[in-house]
Structure 1
Amino acid sequence: MKQTFGIFTILFYGILTAQTINGKIISKENNEPIPFARIGIENENFGAIADENGNYSIDLTNIDRNKNLTVQIGGFINFSQSIQNFIDGNHTISLNEKVVEIQEVVLNPKKYYEKNWGTNAKTKKVQFGFNPARSKEDKSKEFGVDFNNNKNIKLQKINLNIVDLKTDKPLLINFNIYSKKDGLPDISLLNENLTIELTKDKIKDGTFSFDVSDKNVWINKQDFFVTIQVMNGFDGWIYLSGAMFKNVYYRNFYGPWLKKTIAQPALNIDVKIEK
């Protein structure tokens, strides 16, 4: 009888302490789901990915309740809440869109000139990419490159030199722009989400270009980072070309940013620069 009671106590305790949370991530403005958003723990390489309808499931059983759960998406104010309060509260995460009053700016050709910054390599000998079948970390990986800047600039295009793409569905690619702090990415500078579908037919001469000239992406006299994530799950891989002996910055979910000085992915940008 004592043994049976002991087993029941252990099972009952396990049920009480198990904390798999199911919920949904939506935009507070229109209650529309935010697909493929990452939900994770601040400074931890751990989390979950919402599906195309914004639904998520995350196991918080063995996570310190004093740590913060977070969702970070360009164009939205970061969501952050202690795990204990989150477990006890509402599991529908409503993200507030950033509201920024931007004065209309007319780009006078006499005051601005165009440049291309970044890595333009098209070699197949150095490659960076996402291959979920090869590595589970690739499902949550975000990587990018840094840019030194002491001018007022407007971002026009983000370009990727792609050497190999195999996929069973269109890839949902998300870009983010971060400020720099202590040599690493810090706070998103975006006031709107930069997400686009990538398919093979959009790759021209080995380059995929995302035209953001209609967006209000300004970087004013500060160094910054441009990063890339594949948001949705897929069968296959995507590989970018790369250049040796340059820096790349990366993280998984919302873990700490890491820097490697081995090679850099072929990510470059077209910008308009104030004279």
Structure 2
Amino acid sequence: MFKIAFTILLSIQLGYSQITVKGKVVSQTDQKPIAYVNVGIVNTGFGTISNEDGSFSLQVPQLNLKDTLRFSGIGYGKRSIPIQSFLTKDVIVYLKEHVTQLNEVTVTSKKEKNKTFELGNRKSRGGTLETDTIYAGSATALLIENKNPVQKGFSFPVYLQSASIRIFRNNLPAFKMRVRLYSVDKITKSPDEDLLKKSVVVESTMRNGWLTFDLSEFQYLIKEPFFIAFEQILTKTDRAQVAKGYQDFIKKHPDRLRIDTVVFEGKKQVRQRVGMSGIDLPGTFIGIAPGEAASKLYSCFTRNTSFDKWEKVRGTLAATVTVSNQPPASQAVSTIAPEKPCQESSAACAAIEDCNNFLGESNVNGLQLCVSIKGKIKLSRGFGLADVENKLPVTPNTRFRINSVSKAVTSAALIKLLSENKLDLDAPIQKYIPSFPLKKYSFTTRQLAGHLAGIRDYHENDLSDLVRTEHYETATQAIKIFENDSLLFKPGSQFHYSTFGWNLIGAVIEGASGQNYLDYMQEHIWKPMAMMNTGGDDNTKNISERSKFYDATGEENNYGDFSYKYPGGGLLSTAEDLVKFGNELLYGNTLNPTLTKKLFETQFTSWNKVTDYGMGWYIGKDKNGHRIWYHAGDMLSSSSYLIIYPDDDIVIAFLANSQEGVLFDMEKIGEMFYTR
């Protein structure tokens, strides 16, 4: 009997409420198209694979338009892009190529005999056929472990030599199959991360038999159980031919379709089956062992599309791998030089490794990390590229956008003006900005600084409210953007995060000091604190050592003029400057130490609910219970963090030139330094 993995009816039923998104996936290095990239919405059935020219199209239900599309190419970084970005145009998606280094291999003693083992399932009594014409990326994976029937003497670690899959019957002129290796998810025991760093696709015209993939070039050393998986690459023409053949068969032989329901590991699985008369259906049947005996010996998973959930199934894939206890003789030499050992402290070395891993696994092009302990810098380093096109590296002096960390930096001006009796935090803001329209309720600078004033933030569904082109010379000029908007609530009654509220603080600083915001900050904050690389991201000036910035697709994108929000999210700085700033707040004398503490005192709503936010700073604890004062920020093409551990005397700053930097684990870096 032949089990048919039939999904075309479901696709037709969903089509009425779908839209089609299109684009092209290319290499960020040379802009060449990337074939066979997995594209889809994670943990859903909506996925596909890019064509040979890198193009793709995917039907997305209306209900999923606020989700993100995940892109993952073997040998390239992953990227997630909001589906909204595809609604008005075809998008070019840039993936960063991973540099593949072969394992270091040493010559083994000639006295040790090379042993080769074939692992997996060679039995098959039927086949599965993919019939989906809408989506793509289906795959079947077989767990390879030393608990299955294996040859005597087998144990991990071993070198991967080849993989094979049983083609039960092929009725196409030619077909393509890709082999993949996955690690094992420790919790679900399903396929997890790709282990191969190169896409291996074989095209064949065989009618039936074993299709073999030579994997010896990778010299891949496998140290623990893994999944071998196979993914069929179908062109649009292939899928249409398969679907038409199936529809014609059912129309001609409706009595030969049988629905079976079986219970496997407590779950019902519905299968559509046809008899031997279906063996001539167009497509490629993948060999399986459908019986219970095989399912007791082997663990097999399938997914229907790219990024769909892996589901354990009863049918067992007919597939094998060949491994050996030694690398191929022709490759039994050292292929890479040992990496130069890290010369820093153990904590710094661990942090450097973490940054390099993050850079390799994400699509961030460049980043900075700086760490100090008791006022002394222990690590300050740039990673990756500040300018991809010109291959300019990030250095400690590269200037990045610091986004909402600008609020924390601006907070210092409030303390400075307060100490000079030029600012009353609890006076209505019209005392310093007489031109600002009166609202139904008055509000204060303290409330603005704690996001309690009721000032709105960006309009969520209006990109033009965030990305602006007009240039403003002062913070006071820029408040015209929102000055006539109503308050969202009675001041003090709610916490509502607002960058515009901090832009208004910039105008308060100008009114209280009599100086332009940037001029005041330069004279009274940045220069005294030796923050020589900090200033406004002024696009009317040629700013030296300024990083370029990259959007979710990987394309260079500046996203407008930031002069409208210097105080709340428009500053440039370096990780070193931000660490200097943090240390000044802890130990310096530029600001009054007693008054500085006010920045880190949580505010409360009018009904006594704690906000865990002081004035420009979040207040909390890390996952290990260590006190932290911090702020983070991200924009469509940049990301930033600044964390102070007041009890551990640690200050950490992180900056990146894409939004994906928000995924960097700053608390992990903190833990490295306070535990070593």
Give the shorter-chain TM-score range: 0.7 to 0.9
| Structure 1 residues 44-193: aligned runs within 5 Å | 44-60=44-60, 62-84=62-84, 91-106=91-106, 108=108, 110=112, 112-121=114-123, 123=124, 126-132=125-131, 135-136=132-133, 139-148=136-145, 151-168=156-173, 170-181=174-185, 182=187, 183-193=189-199
Match of 1:242 among 260, 267, 288: 288
* Mapped contact 1:22–1:58 kept (Cα < 8 A): yes
Shift of 1:194: 1.6
1:33 maps to amino acid: P
Distance (whole Å) between structure 2 residues aligned to residue 166 and residue 237 of structure 1? 5
Shift of 1:61: 5.4
User: Helix, strand or coil: the match of 1:214?
Assistant: helix
Distance (whole Å) between structure 1 residues aligned to residue 193 and residue 309 of structure 2? 13
Distance (whole Å) between structure 1 residues aligned to residue 231 and residue 220 of structure 2? 18
**Larger RCO (CA within 8 A; separation ≥ 6):** 1
TM-score (norm 2): 0.34
Deviations 1:141-182 (A, max 9, x none): 2111001256122211111222211113x3221111111112
Distance (whole Å) between structure 1 residues aligned to residue 120 and residue 66 of structure 2? 40
Distance (whole Å) between structure 1 residues aligned to residue 204 and residue 179 of structure 2? 12
Distance (whole Å) between structure 2 residues aligned to residue 255 and residue 249 of structure 1? 12
* Mapped contact 1:156–1:211 kept (Cα < 8 A): yes
Greater alpha carbon shift after TM alignment, 22-31 vs 106-115: 106-115
Aligned to 1:6: none
Go from structure 1 to structure 2 and tell me whether the alpha carbon gap of 1:65 and 1:162 turns closer, same or farther (over 3 Å shift). closer
Deviations 1:108-164 (A, max 9, x none): 36264210000111x4xx2233342xx548843211100125612221111122221
Greater alpha carbon shift after TM alignment, 208-217 vs 235-244: 235-244
Shift of 1:101: 3.0
User: Helix, strand or coil: the match of 1:76?
Assistant: coil
> Is residue 258 of structure 1 aligned with residue 263 of structure 2?
no
Deviations 1:186-239 (A, max 9, x none): 1111121121212218x6xx22211111224332x2221111111122242222
> Is residue 224 of structure 1 aligned with residue 226 of structure 2?
yes
* Mapped contact 1:174–1:195 kept (Cα < 8 A): yes
Distance (whole Å) between structure 2 residues aligned to residue 36 and residue 100 of structure 1? 19
* Mapped contact 1:178–1:185 kept (Cα < 8 A): yes
Distance (whole Å) between structure 2 residues aligned to residue 214 and residue 138 of structure 1? 32
Distance (whole Å) between structure 2 residues aligned to residue 192 and residue 160 of structure 1? 19
Distance (whole Å) between structure 2 residues aligned to residue 21 and residue 138 of structure 1? 13
Distance (whole Å) between structure 2 residues aligned to residue 171 and residue 18 of structure 1? 29
Aligned to 1:11: none
Greater alpha carbon shift after TM alignment, 139-148 vs 25-34: 25-34
User: Helix, strand or coil: the match of 1:39?
Assistant: strand
* Mapped contact 1:39–1:48 kept (Cα < 8 A): yes
Aligned length: 248
Aligned to 1:197: 203
Gaps of 5+ in 1: 1-16
1:120 maps to amino acid: R
More strand by share: 1
Shift of 1:59: 3.6
Distance (whole Å) between structure 1 residues aligned to residue 114 and residue 177 of structure 2? 29
In our comparison, the structure showing a higher alpha carbon Rg is 2
* Mapped contact 2:46–2:135 kept (Cα < 8 A): no
Distance (whole Å) between structure 2 residues aligned to residue 223 and residue 85 of structure 1? 39
Shift of 1:249: 0.3
Deviations 1:72-116 (A, max 9, x none): 232222222333456589811122222243344146362642100
* Mapped contact 1:127–1:265 kept (Cα < 8 A): no
Go from structure 1 to structure 2 and tell me whether the alpha carbon gap of 1:273 and 1:193 turns closer, same or farther (over 3 Å shift). same
Go from structure 1 to structure 2 and tell me whether the alpha carbon gap of 1:263 and 1:104 turns closer, same or farther (over 3 Å shift). same
Go from structure 1 to structure 2 and tell me whether the alpha carbon gap of 1:217 and 1:74 turns closer, same or farther (over 3 Å shift). farther
Shift of 1:36: 3.8
Distance (whole Å) between structure 2 residues aligned to residue 137 and residue 83 of structure 1? 18
Go from structure 1 to structure 2 and tell me whether the alpha carbon gap of 1:37 and 1:179 turns closer, same or farther (over 3 Å shift). same
1:273 maps to amino acid: N
Aligned to 2:425: none
Shift of 1:71: 2.0
User: Helix, strand or coil: the match of 2:76?
Assistant: coil
* Mapped contact 2:22–2:91 kept (Cα < 8 A): yes
Greater alpha carbon shift after TM alignment, 176-185 vs 60-69: 60-69
| Structure 1 residues 25-40: aligned runs within 5 Å | 25-40=25-40
TM-score (norm 1): 0.78
Distance (whole Å) between structure 2 residues aligned to residue 105 and residue 252 of structure 1? 38
How well do the aligned residues superpose, as a CA RMSD in angstroms?
Answer: 2.9
Distance (whole Å) between structure 2 residues aligned to residue 18 and residue 217 of structure 1? 42
Match of 1:270 among 313, 318, 322: 322
Distance (whole Å) between structure 1 residues aligned to residue 212 and residue 18 of structure 2? 45
Go from structure 1 to structure 2 and tell me whether the alpha carbon gap of 1:238 and 1:90 turns closer, same or farther (over 3 Å shift). closer
Distance (whole Å) between structure 1 residues aligned to residue 102 and residue 199 of structure 2? 16
Distance (whole Å) between structure 1 residues aligned to residue 204 and residue 231 of structure 2? 12
Distance (whole Å) between structure 2 residues aligned to residue 40 and residue 48 of structure 1? 6
Distance (whole Å) between structure 1 residues aligned to residue 18 and residue 164 of structure 2? 44
Greater alpha carbon shift after TM alignment, 84-93 vs 243-252: 84-93
Go from structure 1 to structure 2 and tell me whether the alpha carbon gap of 1:88 and 1:199 turns closer, same or farther (over 3 Å shift). same
Deviations 1:7-41 (A, max 9, x none): xxxxxxxxxx9853321012223322223433210
